Every structure is written in structure tokens, then in C-alpha cells.
Structure 1
Amino acid sequence: MPSLSQVTDIERIDRDLYRGEPMDSQLIRTYGGQIACQTLTAAVRTVEADRSVHSLHGYFLRAGDPKKSTVFSVDRVRDGRSFSTRRVSALQEGEVIFSMSASFQVGGQEGFEHQDQMPEVVGPEDLTNIRDLDLSGQPRAFFDEWTEWDIRFIPADQQKLYPVLAAQQRVWFRYTGELSDDPNDHVCALAYMSDMTLLGSARVPHPGVEIQEASLDHAMWFQRPFRADEWLLYDQTSPSATLGRSLTQGRIFDSHGNLVAAVTQEGLTRTGG
């Protein structure tokens, strides 16, 4: 079970070329959030310190093998006055397993502001860490993989659900380890976490249905400063599932109600062979 510091400790092997070492894992395939986090970390290392990540768009192209090293090749697409763009390919055995474009913005920009209101939910202190719940019938290794994260699902009977939405799920989470004050450390940590429970929101209306599940693509927008080592609410929905794929969306709020990030992901949720 790799720690977050191990995940982000990628080695520079040449200009714009980095390597992540094999990781201890109980999972057969490399966790998608790990690859996204490492790929974003490689992009961050090639950008000036006055620029912060504001968005990323990634495609999961092949299953990664946690027992193999991963090479991250960065393309410096553009460095403008306000924005920088990077394109990164994550490779194993010479094949691309994940492709990401990331955009960075110079700080201090101004404009009008508005945001959605955070849903009224029970606080994390009144909920139980997922590892302390009875997970009968669910793979224990899946949750034991993230011992550095405190993840607390809000039961359906303890939240206001909206009948016009097809699938809803809300989760409190925070990183329990130590993070620096560098905003990019928190952005990369959130990229790691963002893939952890989101696709599960598509299963909420279909309890007990056996599916083949995998992330297909993943996009994030970072709206406001935050700390990943403080409580964050992941407000998740799945507006549509069809043709063996599910579309999922998430809004991430800090405990003060500030909308700090938005996520959209499509995943494979195929039944049968």
C-alpha cells in the first residue's frame, strides 16, 4: 500500500522525463488516481512557481501494472503570459497507459465570483471511517489500499436527496498524513483522491448488480485554494448510464462551504462478459 509521498516521489531522469517506481499494492491494476496524481506531478515540475493548476483532462488508455515502473513524458505545449499548458504521457513497457493535458494559471487574476451552495449534510465527526464499517461482501483490499485517507460516506437516510437526480452519493474525506503549504501538493493529492469513490455513485440505483468497472476518462477544475488534509465534501451524482458506460460528476466543497473543485468522469460499468 503506497503512501502519498511515495506516489509523488517521481525521479527526474532527463529534461521533461520522469519515472515512478513500482508500488506495493493489493490491486491487480494500478489505481487510476495514482497514475493521475503522478502524471500531474510531472507536469507541475516543468512549470514556473507562480503558476497553479486550474484544470486537467485525462484518458485511461490501458490498465497499469503496479509491479512495473512508469515513465512520464512531458510536452511543453505553451507558456503564455497568463496560462501554461502541458501534455503528459504515462508509459509502461513503451505503451501509453494514461494521457493528460493540464493547464496552469498565473495567480492574482480578478473577475466576478459566484458558486453553488454546499448541500446541508451531517458533519464528518458524526460519521464512521469506512474501514471501521461492516463491509461484508465487499473486497477489503479495495479500502485497505488507502490507509492515509479518512473516508466517511453519508448514509442516504441522513441527507436530503433530490428526486430529479438519477443517482446521488456524498462523501467526506481528508488526507491524514502531512502535506506542505505548497498548493500544488494539495492539488496533486486531490487528483489522487478524486478517482477513489466517484464511479461508485453510478452503482447507487443498482445495488447488487455485478459489473466490469474501470475509469475511462477524468477531468478536474480547481476553483479555489484548499487543503487536502482538512475535511472536504465530495457531492457526487451520476446523471446517465447507458451502453456499458456511466457518466459521473462531483463537486468538492471545503468545510466552510467553499466550492474548491469540480470533477467529471466517465467509467466502464458493463454487465455480462
Structure 2
Amino acid sequence: MSKVMQDLLDILDLETLELNLFRGRSPQSAWQRVFGGQVIGQALVAAQRTVDVDRHAHSLHGYFMRPGDPKVPIIYEVDRIRDGRSFTTRRVVAIQHGHAIFSLEASFQVDEPGLNHQFPMPLDVAPPETLESMIDLVQRYGQRLPENVRRFWARERPLDIRPVGIAHYTTRDPLPPFNNVWIKVNNATEIPRAQQFAMLAYVSDMTLLDTTTFPHGRWGFDPDIQMASLDHAMWFHRPPATMDQWFLYTQDTPSTMGARGFTRGQIFSRDGVLIASVAQEGLIRLHEVPASA
């Protein structure tokens, strides 16, 4: 297992402080706030630690309230709301500096038989082997990025991210409100189901909110755009066979208004199985940029 993969597993492996109380850490990087997917994943892990192992997450709903500080640990407090015969409900609050930065409710269910159908995976999508990785794209277009952002995306990581379309890097023309991205978690073999879902929660915050800027000929790193996740919802439909396969993350943005952008996503396995669905609303606020002296 590579060091970066072990680092991700360590980040998603919380320290137990007391009954219903856990502590998580953040990777030390030049990034000034904690990555939202990390907080979602860690909060889900905290909830999982209080649930019977035969019950698996089927949905989560979270709200971001303050940016996380990567320099200090995050405390996760779990409220055991309900333990039913088939379903279990948990509420988690993430705390830093004495304040809540994120809250999550998650529901767990025992595996049950039932009706089964799904949307098909899009067929007209270029395969990942023909596409450039995010690191390749940063090297090509990195001069448009702030230095700390460029370093963040260029560093070695356990994820291989390959956008299907790169027009938003090259044009200011309005684009269709859709985005397709291939994502793979490298070296993630023989991962238990609970860890698989925590990794999917971590990954689900990648590139999603950027899609809201496509119809406006913009992108999230424009200096006059303030962008941050406000809430995040996720539904786990089926467990992946393995996490080190390619997943297609299809994304669309039905609406942006009132300084808020709304996005949806579906995560498919390479062979077309619908693994999870995602919805997120984020802050998309425009600021005037002072003219340079």
C-alpha cells in the first residue's frame, strides 16, 4: 500500500476519546481550510463506530457551518437518536475551537431483499485511459491558479481524477450544465464496506460544486468568486466490488441563483452499476476585485 493511500486511511480512522466522542486530524498542507469531503467522511466514520456492523449507511445529510481549521483536530460528537429493528439513525456534530463547523445525520439499514432498478450509465463518455489526469491538467493550465491551489492539486494523492471535458479550462463561453469525471482510489484493495462508504463520501465532494460555474463561462478559482459547500446529501445504493476501480461521476447543475448553486451527481462503477447519488448546494458569491495599482 502506498504512503498516500495509508495517509487517507489514517485520516478516516478516528481516535476514540470517550463513548460517542471521537477525534480526527487533517493532512498538513498549504490549503487554508479543511476539505469538505474529509469532514463528511470523518463524520460518517464517527456515526459508523456507534452502529452494529450488520447495518450499513444508506443516506446522509450534512450542513457546513464554518470553515474547518486544518491545524487543529476536529472533535466529533455522536447522538444515538434511534436504534430500530431495521434502521438506525445517528446525528454527528463536528467541533473546532468550541464551535460547530459541520453537522450530519446518517441513516443505517440491515441488508434486505426487494425491488431493484437503476438509471443506466451514460454510454457516450470517453474512457479514462484516453484522458489526462488532474495533475496533467494543472501542469498545463496551472498558471491560471493561485500558487497554493496549484501546489495542492499537483501533490501526490491517492485519487486519480480525470475530467472528461476540459473546455472550462480553455474558454469563457457558457457551457452546458453537465460535467463527467472519472475517479479512482489507487491501491484501495480489500477495503471493508464501512470504509468504502467513507471513501465514497470523501470523493463525492470532488469537482461537484465547480459544475455550477460552467453555464456562466466561469470556474471556481476565478478571483472574484467565493465558493464553499453549504450542504451535502448522499444516498448509498449498492456497495462497490472494490474501490480501486474507475468510477464515473456524472454531475449536473439544475439551478444557480441568490448566490447559491445547486448540483447533483451519480457515481457509477466501470461496469455500469449505480453505486451512489449525491446532491449539494454551495455558496457562489461574486465579489469585485480591486484594480491592481
Would the TM-score normalized by the shorter structure come out above 0.5? yes
Q: Which range is displaced more, 4-13 or 28-37?
A: 4-13
State the 1:50 CA deviation: 0.4
State the 1:156 CA deviation: 6.5
Residue aligning to 2:226: 212
Residues 192 and 171 of structure 1: CA distance in aligned 2, closer, same or farther (over 3 Å): same
> In structure 2, which of residues 239, 252, 273 is the aligned counterpart of residue 258 of structure 1?
273
**1:194-223 Cα deviation digits (max 9, x unpaired):** 111100111112234631000000000000
Consecutive unaligned residues of structure 2, counting only runs of 5 or more, are: 168-174, 289-293
Tell me if 1:79 matches 2:93.
Answer: no
Read off the aligned partner of 2:117 and give its amino acid letter.
H
> In structure 1, which of residues 177, 187, 193 is the aligned counterpart of residue 187 of structure 2?
177
> 3-state SS of the aligned residue for 1:135?
helix
> In structure 1, which of residues 232, 237, 245 is the aligned counterpart of residue 252 of structure 2?
237
Read off the aligned partner of 1:72 and give its amino acid letter.
Y
State the 1:129 CA deviation: 1.0
Q: Find the aligned partners of 2:135 and 2:87 in 1 and give their Cα distance.
A: 41
**1:222-248 Cα deviation digits (max 9, x unpaired):** 001113321100000000000100000
The two structures, once aligned, show a CA RMSD in angstroms of 1.8
Q: Say if 1:199 and 1:265, in contact at 8 Å, map to a contact too.
A: yes
> In structure 2, which of residues 234, 240, 262 is the aligned counterpart of residue 247 of structure 1?
262
How is 1:62-141 mapped onto 2 (pairs within 5 angstroms)?
62-107=66-111, 109-120=112-123, 121-133=125-137, 134-136=140-142, 137-138=144-145, 139-141=149-151
Read off the aligned partner of 1:82 and give its amino acid letter.
S
Residue aligning to 1:36: 40
**1:34-60 Cα deviation digits (max 9, x unpaired):** 111111111111111101110000000
Q: Which range is displaced more, 15-24 or 86-95?
A: 15-24
Read off the aligned partner of 1:116 and give its amino acid letter.
F
Q: Find the aligned partners of 2:53 and 2:40 in 1 and give their Cα distance.
A: 20
Residue aligning to 1:197: 207
Q: Which range is displaced more, 147-156 or 90-99?
A: 147-156
Residue aligning to 1:45: 49
Tell me if 1:271 matches 2:275.
Answer: no
**TM-score, normalised via structure 2 length:** 0.86
Residues 205 and 142 of structure 1: CA distance in aligned 2, closer, same or farther (over 3 Å): farther
**TM-score, normalised via structure 1 length:** 0.92
**1:60-113 Cα deviation digits (max 9, x unpaired):** 011110001110000111111111000000000111000000000101x12111
> 3-state SS of the aligned residue for 1:239?
strand
Q: Find the aligned partners of 1:140 and 1:232 in 2 and give their Cα distance.
A: 24
> In structure 2, which of residues 37, 57, 60 is the aligned counterpart of residue 56 of structure 1?
60
Tell me if 1:222 matches 2:225.
Answer: no
Q: Say if 1:221 and 1:262, in contact at 8 Å, map to a contact too.
A: yes
State the 1:179 CA deviation: 4.4
Q: Find the aligned partners of 2:182 and 2:104 in 1 and give their Cα distance.
A: 27
Q: Find the aligned partners of 1:145 and 1:87 in 2 and give their Cα distance.
A: 34
Q: Find the aligned partners of 1:185 and 1:259 in 2 and give their Cα distance.
A: 18
Q: How many residues align?
A: 265
Q: Find the aligned partners of 2:116 and 2:130 in 1 and give their Cα distance.
A: 32
Consecutive unaligned residues of structure 1, counting only runs of 5 or more, are: 158-164
State the 1:177 CA deviation: 3.1
Q: Find the aligned partners of 2:11 and 2:213 in 1 and give their Cα distance.
A: 28
Segments of 4+ moved more than 4 angstroms: none
Q: Say if 2:29 and 2:152, in contact at 8 Å, map to a contact too.
A: no
Residue aligning to 1:148: 158
Report percent identity of matched pairs: 45
Q: Find the aligned partners of 1:246 and 1:88 in 2 and give their Cα distance.
A: 25
Q: Find the aligned partners of 2:266 and 2:13 in 1 and give their Cα distance.
A: 28
Q: Write 1 or 2 for the structure with the bigger share of helix.
A: 2
Q: Find the aligned partners of 1:177 and 1:92 in 2 and give their Cα distance.
A: 32
> 3-state SS of the aligned residue for 2:203?
helix
